[in-house]
Structure 1
C-alpha cells in the first residue's frame, strides 16, 4: 500500500513535537543559568576561603597576642615567675579596671567580673577578645582557671606546644587553641591561654551570602528563561517567515509572497535574501515557460492554419489541378520553413534565458570576434559599406561565451542590413574603460518611432508585421539578444529616428579573475 506525501505530512502533524522555539528557549535558559551558577559557585568558594582565612588570622592574633601580652605584663608586675597571677592577667587584659593592682583580693571571683564589663576597646586585641563568640581563658600551670572572658563549657587540655584545631561549637564549625605562656627569664611555663572562636560572623556571613546567591540564582533562572524565549523567538522569526512563504507557495505556485528581510546582516538574513532570490528565479522560469508555450502556440497557429487551408483545398478539388497543387505545395513548404525558423529561434531564446545556469565564468577576447564578424559581413554583403572604428588597443576579455557574443553581433548587423534603405552603410564602433566594453552598431535605414523603440525588444514584436514577415523576421532576434546580454549582466539600448536610421548600443562587463 502506497502513501502520498500528503498522507505522510498529515501523520507528521499528528505526532506531538516540541517546538524548536521551546527547545532553543530551554537550551538558552540552561546555558545562561548554568554559566551564572558556575561563576556564582566559584565566587562563593573564593569568598568563603577568604573569610575562613581571615577568621584563622584573627584567631591566631587573639591566641598569640594574649600569650605575648601576658609575658610582657609578667615582667612589669615582677610577680612570681613560676605562675601567672590574677593581678597580672587582669592588668594585661584590662589595666584600667583596677587603679591599684596591689589592692586585688585573692578571693576575687573572676566569673562575676568578666572582660565584657571592662569597656576598654582602645586596643585591637581587646576588641577581638570582646567579640560575641570568642572566649579567652587563662590557666595556671596546675592548671587552675585564672581568667575567663565569657562563660562557656569547654574542656581544657594542657600542651607544651601551641595547638590549633577545629571543634564543634554550638553545632557549627569553630576554632579551638591552646598556647603555653613561657617566662622570658626562666623559660618555664607559667600558664596557659585557651581561646575558643565560634566564628559566628563567618557563619552568618556565609549563610547570608548563600541565601543571596540562591535568591539571585532563582532570579537568574527566571530572567534567563525570559531572555532565552525572547532570543529564540527573535532568532526563529526568519525561519518562521520562510515556513510561511513556503506554505504560501505550496498552495499557490504563482504566489508573490516573499520573506521580509530585516537588515541584520547575519546568517539568517543572508539565508532569507538567498531564498527570496531563488524564489524570484523560480517564478521567472515558470513565467518564461508559460510565456514560451503561449508564444509558440500563438505563432504556430498562423502557419498551421495556412497549411490546413491548403490541404483542405487539395482534398476538395486541387488534386487534379496542377496549378492549385503547385501553389498549395509551395505555400505549405514556405510555412514549414517559417515554422522551423520559429522553433529554432524559440529554442535559442529558451537557452538565452538559462545563461546564468550553463555559462557562468565564461570569457571571450572581444577584438578577434568583432574583427571576424566584420569581415564575414563584408564578404556576405559586398553591396554594403561596413566601417569599423576600433578604439581597443590591447587584448580585453569580456564575461560572455564566444558563440553568444557572435550571435548578438549577427542579429544586430543582420537587422542593420535588412532594414537599410537607399544608404547601404553600417558603422561599427568599439571602445572600453576600466569596467566594461561598449559596442555601437549604426544603420541609416528605416528607423522607428519612440513608441516602437520602447517595444522593439519584446518577443514577436514587429513594427510592420507584413513587411517584417516578408523579410523573414519572426520578431525574436532582439529579444534573444537582450536575454543573452541580461544573463551576462550586459545591457542593450537603441536610439532611433524614423526614416533616418538607428543606433544599437551594447555594454558587457570586462572579465576579471577572482583574487
Structure 2
C-alpha cells in the first residue's frame, strides 16, 4: 500500500512541477477573487488523478483552501516539512501527504499542497479479491461435496453390494447371488472373496442339511411302513395265526433294529462334527488299537483270511479318541467283509511316513466305478442300494469315518477297480513329543 502511495506521489511530482504549481496557484488566487473558484484552467492530468482516487488540495499561507479537485473532509495542518500519514475516509483506509509550495527562487512560501490518496485501486482490488475468494470458496465447497459424495459412493459401493447380497440371501437362503469381484487389489476385494467363500459354504451346509433331512426321512419311511403294515395285519386277523404273528413280530423287530442303528449312526455323525470341541486332548496308541481290532475280526469271521503288514518299529501316538479310532477301523473292516465276493481275504497294513501314520485296508470284492468313488463318502450314498440294504447298510458309515478323521486333522482316500476290490487309506498326524504317563 505504501509503495502505491509513493508511486502516485512520484507521478504527481513529475507532472506537477514547481512552475505548474505556481501557475496553478496564481490562477487559483485570481479565480478565487474574481470567480469564486469556478475555474482554474485546463489540467488534463488532474482528471486522471481524480479517477484514481487522488485528490489535490491547495491552501494559501494562512491555511485557507484555495482549490481541490474533489470534495474532501481531510483535516489540513500547516507543516513546514513534507509529511505522509495514514487516515480513514468513509471507513476506508487512505493516505494523506502534504508539502509547502515555495517560489521558484526558493525563498518565498506561496502556500501548501495536500494530496489525499483514497486507495481506490487498492479497495477495488481488495473487493475483487474478496468476491473472488467468496466465489472460489463457494465453488470449492460445492465441488468438495460433489467429489466427496463421488469418492464415498466409489469406496462404499462394495459395502452396498455386500448389504444388497446379504438382504437377498436373507430372503432366500439358497440364493446363488454373490458379491461381484472387482479387478482392484484392495481390502474390499479380499473381503468380498472371503464373504463369497463363506456364502458358498453356508449354501453347501444348507443344501447338505436339506439333503440330510430328505435322506433320513426316506430311510425311516421304509422301516416305518413295514412295521405299520405288520401291525395293521396283526390288528385285523393275524394275531389269531401263530405263524403270521411270529413273522410279523420278527420283521417288525428287524426294522426297529434298523431304525435304531440309523438313529445311532446319525448321532455318531452329529458328534463327529464336534470332535475338535469335546475330544481335542485325547491320545490313542495306534498300533495297540490296530492289533486289537485285527484279532477281533479274525475271531468274528473265521472263514476270512486276514493279513497284517506292520512296518512300525515302535508304538506311535495320535491325537484321537480311542473309541473313535476303533469305530473308524470297524467301519472300514466291516465294509471290506460285507462287500467281499468269492475271495474272502482282507489285507491290513500300517506304516509311518513323514509325520503321519498310514493305515490301508484292502478287499478283493465288488469294487466301485470312478463315479461311485467320488460319491462314496456322501451321506446315505450306497453303491448298490438294493444289495446294501440286504447287507444292513444305511450309507452313513464312510461319512462318519470321514467326519471323524477330518475332525482330528486326518484324511481318508479310496482306490478301487470295479469287480476287483477296493483299498481305503487313512492317515493321522503323529504326536512326536508325546510321552505316555507310564513311562514318566
Give your verdict on TM over 0.5: yes
Answering whether residue 259 of structure 2 is matched by residue 339 of structure 1, we say yes
Which consecutive residues of structure 1, in runs of 5 or more, have no partner in the other structure? Answer: 1-54, 67-89, 120-128, 182-189
d(CA) in 1 for partners of 2:332, 2:418: 18
**Shift in Å, 1:342:** 0.8
d(CA) in 2 for partners of 1:106, 1:424: 137
Does 323-332 or 455-464 show the bigger shift? Answer: 323-332
Who is 2:77 aligned against? 157
Who is 1:175 aligned against? 94
Determine if contact 2:84/2:97 at 8 Å carries over to the other structure: yes
Task: Give CA deviations for 1:142-189 in whole Å, capped at 9, x if unaligned.
Answer: 6588999x6663431246996733311xx46132345788xxxxxxxx
Other structure's SS at 2:350 match: strand
Determine which of 360, 363, 372 is the counterpart of 1:441: 360
**Shift in Å, 1:409:** 5.0
Does 340-349 or 252-261 show the bigger shift? Answer: 252-261
Equivalent residues in 2 for 1:466-477, closer than 5 Å: 467-469=387-389, 471-477=391-397
Equivalent residues in 2 for 1:272-351, closer than 5 Å: 276=196, 279-315=199-235, 319=239, 324-351=244-271
**Shift in Å, 1:336:** 1.7
**Shift in Å, 1:344:** 1.4
Determine which of 361, 370, 383 is the counterpart of 1:450: 370
Who is 2:353 aligned against? 431
Determine if contact 2:282/2:321 at 8 Å carries over to the other structure: no
d(CA) in 2 for partners of 1:137, 1:213: 37
Q: 1:172 to 1:294 in 2, by over 3 A?
A: same
Equivalent residues in 2 for 1:57-96, closer than 5 Å: 57-59=3-5, 61=6, 93-94=13-14
Determine which of 292, 297, 303 is the counterpart of 1:381: 297
Determine if contact 1:292/1:346 at 8 Å carries over to the other structure: no
Other structure's SS at 2:178 match: coil
d(CA) in 2 for partners of 1:216, 1:510: 73
d(CA) in 2 for partners of 1:192, 1:369: 122
Q: 1:362 to 1:338 in 2, by over 3 A?
A: closer
d(CA) in 2 for partners of 1:270, 1:319: 70
CA RMSD between the two structures: 5.0
Task: Give CA deviations for 1:73-107 in whole Å, capped at 9, x if unaligned.
Answer: xxxxxxxxxxxxxxxxx9xx449968xx8xx8797
d(CA) in 1 for partners of 2:42, 2:321: 111
d(CA) in 2 for partners of 1:330, 1:468: 20
Other structure's SS at 1:301 match: helix
Other structure's SS at 2:88 match: strand
Who is 2:119 aligned against? 199
Answering whether residue 74 of structure 2 is matched by residue 166 of structure 1, we say no
d(CA) in 1 for partners of 2:23, 2:156: 87
Q: 1:423 to 1:408 in 2, by over 3 A?
A: closer
Task: Give CA deviations for 1:96-134 in whole Å, capped at 9, x if unaligned.
Answer: 968xx8xx87975487587948x9xxxxxxxxx999334
d(CA) in 1 for partners of 2:330, 2:51: 107
Other structure's SS at 1:427 match: strand
**Shift in Å, 1:300:** 2.0
Q: 1:454 to 1:266 in 2, by over 3 A?
A: closer
Equivalent residues in 2 for 1:229-248, closer than 5 Å: 229-231=149-151, 233-234=153-154, 237-238=157-158, 240-242=160-162, 244-245=164-165, 248=168
Determine if contact 1:261/1:269 at 8 Å carries over to the other structure: yes
Task: Give CA deviations for 1:393-427 in whole Å, capped at 9, x if unaligned.
Answer: 99887xx8887666545533443455454333211
Q: 1:371 to 1:133 in 2, by over 3 A?
A: farther
How many residues are paired up?
396
Who is 1:411 aligned against? 331
**Shift in Å, 1:390:** 5.5
**Shift in Å, 1:194:** 4.6
With the length of structure 1 as denominator, give the TM-score of the two structures: 0.59
**Shift in Å, 1:340:** 0.7
Other structure's SS at 2:331 match: helix
Task: Give CA deviations for 1:439-479 in whole Å, capped at 9, x if unaligned.
Answer: 45231431333343233223333334455445442221112
d(CA) in 1 for partners of 2:379, 2:260: 17
d(CA) in 2 for partners of 1:302, 1:451: 26
